[in-house]
Each structure stands twice: as structure tokens, then as C-alpha cells.
Structure 1
Amino acid sequence: MKKDFYLTRYALIIKRLERSPATYPEIESYLLNSFEFQDANIVSYSIRTLQRDIKDIANLFNFDIHNKKKGDNRYYIESRPVMEVDEYNQRLLESFQIMNAVNSQPDLAQFVYPETRTPRGIQNFYDLLFAIRNKRILEFQHFKYKDQSITSRKVHPYALKESKDRWYLIALDTKDEKLKAFGLDRISDLEVSKAGFKLQQRFNLKDHFKNAFGIMNLEEEPEKVVIKSTKEQAEYLKSSPLHHSQQIEKETEKSVYFTYDLYPTYDFIQEILSYGNQVKVTQPKSLIEKIKETLKQSIQQYDDSASDQ
């Protein structure tokens, strides 16, 4: 079976079991009759592959598929409270399900219009997942935008993270023993070593990402951030929170105040600026000053535009 088809299988298995518990023959029939399997000309799906897929789904999406064994021998997804579902795994799962829905019907291009920007570097996605799951050392060349330099890296891969249509490898750089983020679009000459590594317990990625916004400095402490939003913009923020820690502090006749527990990174500042006059930061003072300085520099660029002629 094609190695690049595994994500499609995962999404289909999850979709079937979200509907109701199912036996292996029922799952096999569902997969083989799906448009995805038919388009890929796949005509068999063994119980051994199902058992392997179930283990991989548990590792990738952080939830378990169980088998009742006694009685009807059906597989089912363990139900959990919504708040326990990991934010990043849920995003990943939703993305795969959308991708499969679009790819299953070529004529959907007539009435489905996704973003035209596609993430670069994802040709290494499978190899990176393999290295992460099997704890294999990675070696690659990494291009740095800031000084246009290329450096050789040897890392212990820990996770993959998406931010603003870009994917990043979160890995321990063996040169200085620091956790870093490497853009997949800037990775080349990737080699998966046969040598393995042991995870360092001092790095708890769930804790690191808990207060993350975008790709941030993983060692910074979170702060309480308060923003004031117009009523209209607040409806968008309520339906699609900026961060999982978002809470409503208070509402007035014209405004809604939201609080966040995160470290205000460059990515977060850019996000706030994208809302223009619909959103204003009221706390902390240090973040207010950073935003004011950014806005001053932006205005200055336009004031100096005459000199560019």
C-alpha cells in the first residue's frame, strides 16, 4: 500500500468510527467502497494493517481506538470531554478530513476554493513523522533568511507544528542542546539516520505549547494579555478564539474585553495589528509600547515615501 496514502486511511477510519462502532469487516468494506480507495485503485485492506493504523492514530492524534473483543468484536473511539481534546491534534485531524473530502472529487474545484498558498517543504512530512515516531536522529541543511546562510544541522526530532500556512520541525539541536523550530520550507538534503536517541524529560512539549502563539521562544514565561474589541469583531473572536486560553473578562455596550494567558510573541503582535482599529491591547504595558512603536515605524515609512521616488 502506498506510503503517502496513510493519512487518508487514518482520516477515513476515524470518520467511520465517529459515526458508530464497527467490526473489522465493516471498516474494510467502508474503506474499499470509499472514493479515496477507489481512486487509488486499492482493493485490499488487511486486519494487520488496521491494527497498525490504530496504533499510529493513537500516536498522531492523541486518542485511542479500542476493541470490545467480547461479543460483537467492534472497534470504537473512546469518548472524552471536548476540553480534553488536544488543540493541535484536533486541528491536524480536521485539516486531513477536509483534504480528503476535496481530493475525493476532482470536480470540487468548481465550487470549493481553498487558499491558493500551499505550505512548502511538506514533501519531507512522512520521513519526519517516521523519524519522530521511531526516535531517529536527523541530519539536514537549513537555510536562514536573516543572513542568507546555509548550515548543517544534526537534531533529535520531537514534533511538527503548523503556524500561518507554514510547518515547522520542533527539534533538539545537538550542537547546543537547545530546542528549536526549523521551517520545513528551509530544510534540504534531509537524511534519516539509523541511529536513535532518547527523549530528554526536561522538555515537555505540551507545557511548552500550552502558552504558545505561532512559533515562539519556547523558554519565555506567559503573561496575562487583555484586549478590547468592538462588538462586531468580538463575534468573530468568540466563534474562532485567538488562543485556547481566551476568556471574556467583561462586556460593555460597545466593547468586549478578552483575556489570554500567553507570551506575546512577534506572531501575536502581527495578529493583533491585522485587526486594525477593531482591537486594542489594554494590558500589559510592555506589549502596548511594542505595538505603538511598530505602528510609529509603519507610519514613518509612509512619511518617508517621497524619498523613495
Structure 2
Amino acid sequence: MPKTKNAYLRYLLIHSQIRRNQYKEGYPTIDDLWQYLYDEGYEVSYSTIEKDLCFLKNERGAPLIYDRRKKCYKYTEDWEFDVPLTPEAVRILQMTLHKLEIFSEAREFRMVNDAIEKLSDHFQIVRKYPDDRLNKYILFEYTKGFSGKEHLSRIYEAIYDKRTIMFTHCRFDTEDPTQRTLQPYILKEHRNRWYVIGKENDEARIFGLDRICDLAVTDNYFIQEPAFYDEIFNVLRDAVGVFAFGFDSEDVVLHFTPDEAPYIKTLPLHRSQQPVYENETGGYTVKLHVKVTAEFINDCILRFGDRVRVVSPQSLAEHVAGIWQCAIDSYNASRTV
């Protein structure tokens, strides 16, 4: 919404200046209000400011008067401008905050949480049941205690401030840790794991937060490149998961059994999913335009077992068949032991 149309933010700014009593005549003149709004990025006319002042007085009940001698606006008594939020809106904020508890260590999270508590007190919101708790009635998929949670808020702040981070990285497939210096661009979640995507030595790199330790946010600032942001989003757009850099996008056709079809139709595997064939007895065939990564194979093919078959490309069908054959060989070998 353009700032010139975001009236309630203007009301709050005007209200804050009338209460501050910091101007030459104690309270602000209309010139003072115009200058303050302009400094805050609101390019409005004097008539708009006068209408805003009338709104505060006539619609919100502000004890506002105009001092003709000093040509300034002031309140005759203490008054607070109420934010027009309904109890239902506050409940939605509480639900959203509950989902964002993974950022609970961030200063901004605590500030928002305190603000919502004040709103709840202001509206005297009483839950219908005394033992009502959000986490009793709404269960989110993420795990609160996942490894690496403690890094989220600091990496987010580093991204926001455009500051380089340093950390020790421990891969799961090796015991040798490495020291890393990264320009962080994006935090990405996939299957309850969080990753930071950024640039290291001018190359795109991805690190799982659960494999990071000794994190330090440095005082070295960097310039975020819009072209690299575009590259990240272009890669992830055709990806399932995170590790998709260096892969080409291609068409994949999958055929699902009739029992699995309703689930695939109501929750698509990927944003590119398009129906190819559907029959109540013959199953459901879809086409995807994706990067064929290990994450795609695991999440969109292997987890469905015998309820899915790769139609094309043939190379992918043979690769998946080879995976299943290895599994069969493993089971057969275990029987002979």
C-alpha cells in the first residue's frame, strides 16, 4: 500500500509529535507536522494533514485544539491513539507468533510478543476455555528443538544488516571441520531443517544450520547483488529442496496409482505440476518441470514406494529402478546371513 494511502500510520506519526512537546512553541505547527511526515517518507499536502487532524479529533475523540496565538496543535489532556484491531485480529497475530517461535531468541520477536500481550490486555481478550492453549489445538510440522535453531536469529540479522558471517562447518560425511566465511543472502527451510544460502569466494554455497558451530557475525559489510538473488530464486523455483545449484531443469512424467491420486491432486508435488492423464481405474499421471536432484527423487518418487512409476525420462526410470534393485538385493542378502 502506498504511504500516501496508509492513513493509520500517518495518524500515529502525527499523534506521536503532538505528544512529544519538543518544538519551538512546545507543540507542532502544521509546518512541523508536514516536515516530520516528509522526513518519514510521506509526501502529503497540507489539506491531507488537516483532514488527519480532524479525524483524530472527531472520529477518534482526541482532545485536540489549535492554539491560534502560537499556531500549533496540542492536547488538553493525556490521550492515546488506539490501534483499530479487533480481538479476532489479535488472535490471528497470536497464532502467527506461535508459528514463528523458532525465532524466539530474536530481539524483534520478543518486542512483537510484548506488543501482542499489551493488545490482549487492552482488549481484555478472554479465551473461551480457561486451559486454552494454541499448541493444544494447532500443531505445526516443525520441531521446536531442532539442531541449529540458536543460529536463526543471528543469521537473519546478518542478512538484514548485510554483514559477513564466519563459522565452523561439520559435514555429516566427514569428521574434518572446515572454517567458512559467507555472505548470507537467504534462509531456507526444507523438511524441518534450515539452511543459509549465500556467496563464498564468489560462488553460491548452501550450509545446513544443524552443521554449523562457533557462529560469529563480523563487522565486514558486503553489497548484496540483485543478480545473485535472481539466481537463487530461479534455481529454487524449479527445485524440490535446497541443493539444486548446477542442475538443469527438465520435464518429468510420473504415474500414480488410483489410491494415491487424490492426495497428489489436492497437494501437488511441485508448483509446476500439470495433469496429463486421469482415470478412476487407471490412475493419475502428472508432468513436472523440475531439477532432478537427490531431494526430488527422495521426496517425490521413493517415498511413494510402489504407488508411483516414472514414465519419463527413461534415464530417471532406470536410476529409480536401480535404487529399488539395490534395496531388494540388500533384503535378499540379509535373509542368507
Q: TM-score band, normalised by the shorter chain?
A: 0.5 to 0.7
Instruction: Output aligned runs, 1:6-21, within 5 Å.
Output: none
What percent of counterpart residues are identical? 29
Match of 2:224 in 1: 199
The Cα of 1:280 is off from its aligned counterpart by: 1.3
Instruction: Give the letter aligned to residue 241 of structure 1.
Output: P
**1:287 counterpart = 2:316:** yes
Cα deviation digits, residues 29-67 of structure 1 (max 9, x gap): xxxxxxxxxxxxxxxxxxxxxxxxxxxxxxxxxxxxx99
In structure 2, the CA distance between the partners of 1:72 and 1:264, relative to structure 1 (3 Å rule), is farther
Match of 1:262 in 2: 290
In structure 2, the CA distance between the partners of 1:23 and 1:199, relative to structure 1 (3 Å rule), is closer
The Cα of 1:113 is off from its aligned counterpart by: 4.4
Instruction: Output aligned runs, 1:70-219, within 5 Å.
Output: 70=48, 96=96, 99=99, 107-115=133-141, 117-118=143-144, 119-174=146-201, 177-203=202-228, 204-219=231-246
Instruction: Give the letter aligned to residue 193 of structure 1.
Output: T
Contact kept, 8 Å, 2:11 with 2:52, in 1: the verdict is no
**1:238 counterpart = 2:265:** yes
Ranges in structure 1 where 5+ consecutive residues have no aligned partner:
1-20, 28-65, 75-92
The Cα of 1:307 is off from its aligned counterpart by: 5.5
The Cα of 1:232 is off from its aligned counterpart by: 3.1
The count of aligned residue pairs is 232
Q: Which has the higher contact order (CA 8 A, sep 6+)?
A: 1
The Cα of 1:115 is off from its aligned counterpart by: 4.5
Cα deviation digits, residues 168-215 of structure 1 (max 9, x gap): 0101122xx321110001111111111111234552221121111112
Contact kept, 8 Å, 1:23 with 1:72, in 2: the verdict is no
Bigger Cα Rg: 2
Contact kept, 8 Å, 2:98 with 2:134, in 1: the verdict is no
Helix, strand or coil at the partner of 2:177: strand
In structure 2, the CA distance between the partners of 1:283 and 1:24, relative to structure 1 (3 Å rule), is same
Instruction: Give the letter aligned to residue 145 of structure 1.
Output: F
Match of 1:15 in 2: none
Helix, strand or coil at the partner of 2:241: coil
In structure 2, the CA distance between the partners of 1:302 and 1:26, relative to structure 1 (3 Å rule), is farther
Contact kept, 8 Å, 1:121 with 1:186, in 2: the verdict is yes
Q: Which moved more, 1:283-292 or 1:232-241?
A: 232-241
Helix, strand or coil at the partner of 1:231: coil
In structure 2, the CA distance between the partners of 1:131 and 1:109, relative to structure 1 (3 Å rule), is closer
The Cα of 1:96 is off from its aligned counterpart by: 4.5
Q: Following the alignment from structure 1 to structure 2, what is the Cα–Cα distance between the partners of residues 228 and 124?
A: 41
Q: Following the alignment from structure 1 to structure 2, what is the Cα–Cα distance between the partners of residues 227 and 183?
A: 30
Q: Which moved more, 1:130-139 or 1:111-120?
A: 111-120
Contact kept, 8 Å, 2:141 with 2:192, in 1: the verdict is no
Match of 2:276 in 1: 249
Ranges in structure 2 where 5+ consecutive residues have no aligned partner:
1-5, 13-41, 56-92, 102-112, 118-130
In structure 2, the CA distance between the partners of 1:242 and 1:96, relative to structure 1 (3 Å rule), is farther
TM-score (norm 1): 0.65
The Cα of 1:126 is off from its aligned counterpart by: 1.2
Q: CA RMSD of the aligned region, Å?
A: 3.6
TM-score (norm 2): 0.60
In structure 2, the CA distance between the partners of 1:99 and 1:25, relative to structure 1 (3 Å rule), is farther
Contact kept, 8 Å, 2:247 with 2:292, in 1: the verdict is no
Contact kept, 8 Å, 2:236 with 2:244, in 1: the verdict is no
Q: Following the alignment from structure 1 to structure 2, what is the Cα–Cα distance between the partners of residues 164 and 100?
A: 16
Cα deviation digits, residues 268-293 of structure 1 (max 9, x gap): 11121111122211111111111111
Match of 2:8 in 1: 23
Helix, strand or coil at the partner of 2:292: coil
The Cα of 1:145 is off from its aligned counterpart by: 0.7
Helix, strand or coil at the partner of 2:220: strand
Instruction: Give the letter aligned to residue 136 of structure 1.
Output: R
Instruction: Give the letter aligned to residue 309 of structure 2.
Output: K
Instruction: Give the letter aligned to residue 297 of structure 2.
Output: I
The Cα of 1:98 is off from its aligned counterpart by: 5.6
Instruction: Output aligned runs, 1:218-237, within 5 Å.
Output: 218-237=245-264
